[in-house]
Amino acid sequence: AGCDIGLIGAGVMGKSLTLNLADHGYRVAVFDRDPNRLDALHDQDAAERGDRPTRLHGCSTYPQLLAQLPTPRIILLSIPAGKPVDEVCQRLIAAGIGTEDIVVDTGNSLWSDSQAREQHYRSHFIFFSTAVSGGEVGARFGPSLMPSGCPAAWSRLQPIWEAIAAKVDPESGQPIESRVPGKPVTGGEPCAAYIGPGGSGHYVKMVHNGIEYADMQMICEAYQIMRDALGMQPAAIAAVFAQWNRGVLNSYLIEISAEILATTDADSGLPLVDIILDKAGQKGTGLWTAVSSLQLGIPAPSIAEAVAARSLSALKPERMIASGVLAGPQAAPPPDHQKHAHIEALHDALYCAKLCVYAQGFQLMRCAAREQGWTLNFAAIASIWRAGCIIRARFLHAIREAFACDPDLQNLLLAPYFAKQLAARQHNWRQAVAHAALSGIPIAALGSALSYYDAYRTAVLPANLLQAQRDFFGAHRFERIDRDEGTLYHCEWSLPGRPLTH
């Protein structure tokens, strides 16, 4: 047993997690059924560590992997979600894994699968899960980690996860970053917090991804408005994003968008973004978030719209035809002296809409927690999203403060700080949405967030008419505002005098 931890799956994420663990002094036994991947891992390890001795041990069979680890073992799975997780679990059982051993799923598994697996494998080993965000670089130098499952397993994993996680400066709430192999960040608050019982960590990660989808979509809408309604070139848009990244919109996604838009294609010399096909892919986590929100009856429209926007983008051939058939408005770009005001308005629109998306995501987690009997610490969740993960953003520090002040906060928009921010910027947000609509630019996420805001702050919605319609055609009954809550009435709409019964 020459190693401390086992890892199965030396793909992009597994390789990076392995090297991160090794940087923190852990000796890792790595299994991959593809020997080329183990070779690639060894090559990267050798290139990064120079003449320091390696901490990695490649294994070509499951029994070899188990033999490298002291009992009770810790084995991380870094494999695609779904069937492969169960296949590997079965192989570990066949190879003789012990009941006290801990198997940690680090993939993007569906939260309810993780919940079921914890039960399913309990007589064979302890199934624990840890959702990982941050992509390849995050996994290599500090991801955000969302662990959940049996508390005893967490006690064993905690020091490991806290060592390899991204770190935040406790004073400023800003990430502390190091991208130097062998020289990890020491100190700072780790972006790893125990989320709760089995499945809860993957639920939180799923919502993270839903927010990620909406955040990306909103940035793309801002880009399209600048490109098509303001007639700006990628380099100019890159400069706007870079400037926004210095203020309240500071975030990883804005930062990389600026970098992407400033990149030119080496062959053609054209902006690289201009030669990328406008057809979005998706692996399902955004869809799961939207489905969960619909099932729980907690609106997350901007997340659902972001999923739909990807699907619409994928209908490229149909859109090509429709572009020649369906009319749009005749809109000319505004004169140069007005562009600055449009860009300012867009900035505020992005900020306000982003706030609504987080409000949707946190409210969804709040409801899921109630349904599942989880006690989620929202301040801690906001804390561990401040660094390492894809949605890391400066304003997560303010979200953390809001939940720290009021852990029962029903909706983030109601936090006094954010309510004030929205009040101050809503006019610009409306201007930007109106300008986009008049210019014929789709604003699925920016616009749906505004509708969400307006619906949420409206005391009397038109659902009175809707209830009447339901009662008219289906006798579904309605409550009256002038009678006891909960008493249901039906109107005999077709009878003279329209008598009411209850």
DSSP string, 327-352: -----PPPPHHHHHHHHHHHHHHHHH
Beta strands in 315-450 (DSSP E): none
Choice between 285 and 421, CB closer to ligand 6PG: 285
**Is position 293 an interface residue for ligand 6PG (rule: CB under 6 A)?**
no
Choice between 68 and 114, CB closer to ligand 6PG: 114
Determine if the peptide bond prior to 72 is cis (ω within 30°): yes
Q: Is 420 annotated as a binding residue?
A: no
Task: Tell me, yes or no, if 212 is annotated catalytic.
Answer: yes
- Angle ∠(145,213,426) on CA atoms, nearest 5: 110
Q: Which stretches within 9-72 are classed as H helix?
A: 12-23, 35-49, 62-67
* Distance between CA atoms of residues 51 and 54, nearest Å: 9
Applying the rule CB under 6 A, the residues between 350 and 409 that interact with ligand 6PG are: 389-390
Sole binder of ligand 6PG in the list 122, 183, 283, 316 (CB under 6 A): 283
Minimum gap (Å) between residue 280 Cβ and ligand 6PG: 8
Q: Which stretch in 133-141, 189-197, 223-231, 249-257 sits in contact with ligand 6PG by CB under 6 A?
A: 133-141
Minimum gap (Å) between residue 338 Cβ and ligand 6PG: 35
Comparing C-alpha atoms, which of 413, 486, 110, 66 is closest to residue 288? 110
* Distance between CA atoms of residues 93 and 83, nearest Å: 16
H/E element, 127: strand 126-133
Q: Is 208 annotated as a binding residue?
A: yes
**Is position 285 an interface residue for ligand 6PG (rule: CB under 6 A)?**
yes
- Angle ∠(202,205,206) on CA atoms, nearest 5: 85
**Is position 134 an interface residue for ligand 6PG (rule: CB under 6 A)?**
yes
The torsion defined by the Cα of 25, 27, 31 and 35, in degrees rounded to 10, comes to 80
Task: Tell me, yes or no, if 205 is annotated catalytic.
Answer: yes
Minimum gap (Å) between residue 135 Cβ and ligand 6PG: 5
Q: What is the number of the residue whose Cβ is closest to ligand 6PG?
A: 133
| Total of chain residues touching ligand 6PG, rule CB under 6 A | 12
* Distance between CA atoms of residues 413 and 419, nearest Å: 6
Choice between 212 and 471, CB closer to ligand 6PG: 212
314, two tokens = 């994928």
Q: Which stretch in 113-121, 132-140, 223-231, 366-374 sits in contact with ligand 6PG by CB under 6 A?
A: 132-140
**Is position 439 an interface residue for ligand 6PG (rule: CB under 6 A)?**
no
Minimum gap (Å) between residue 209 Cβ and ligand 6PG: 5
Q: Is 213 annotated as a binding residue?
A: yes
**Is position 133 an interface residue for ligand 6PG (rule: CB under 6 A)?**
yes
Compute CA 350 distance to the chain's CA centroid, rounded to the nearest angstrom: 17
Q: Is 310 annotated as a binding residue?
A: yes
Q: Is 20 annotated as a binding residue?
A: no
**Is position 80 an interface residue for ligand 6PG (rule: CB under 6 A)?**
no
CB atoms within 10 A of CB 339: 17
Active-site choice (167, 205, 221, 354): 205
Minimum gap (Å) between residue 78 Cβ and ligand 6PG: 12
Applying the rule CB under 6 A, the residues between 197 and 226 that interact with ligand 6PG are: 209, 212
Q: Which stretches within 142-261 are classed as H helix?
A: 151-164, 200-224, 234-244, 252-261
CB atoms within 10 A of CB 374: 18
Binding site per annotation, positions for substrate: 108, 133-135, 208-209, 213, 283, 310, 470, 476
Residues taking part in catalysis: 205, 212
Binding site for ligand 6PG (CB under 6 A): 108, 133-135, 209, 212, 281-283, 285, 389-390
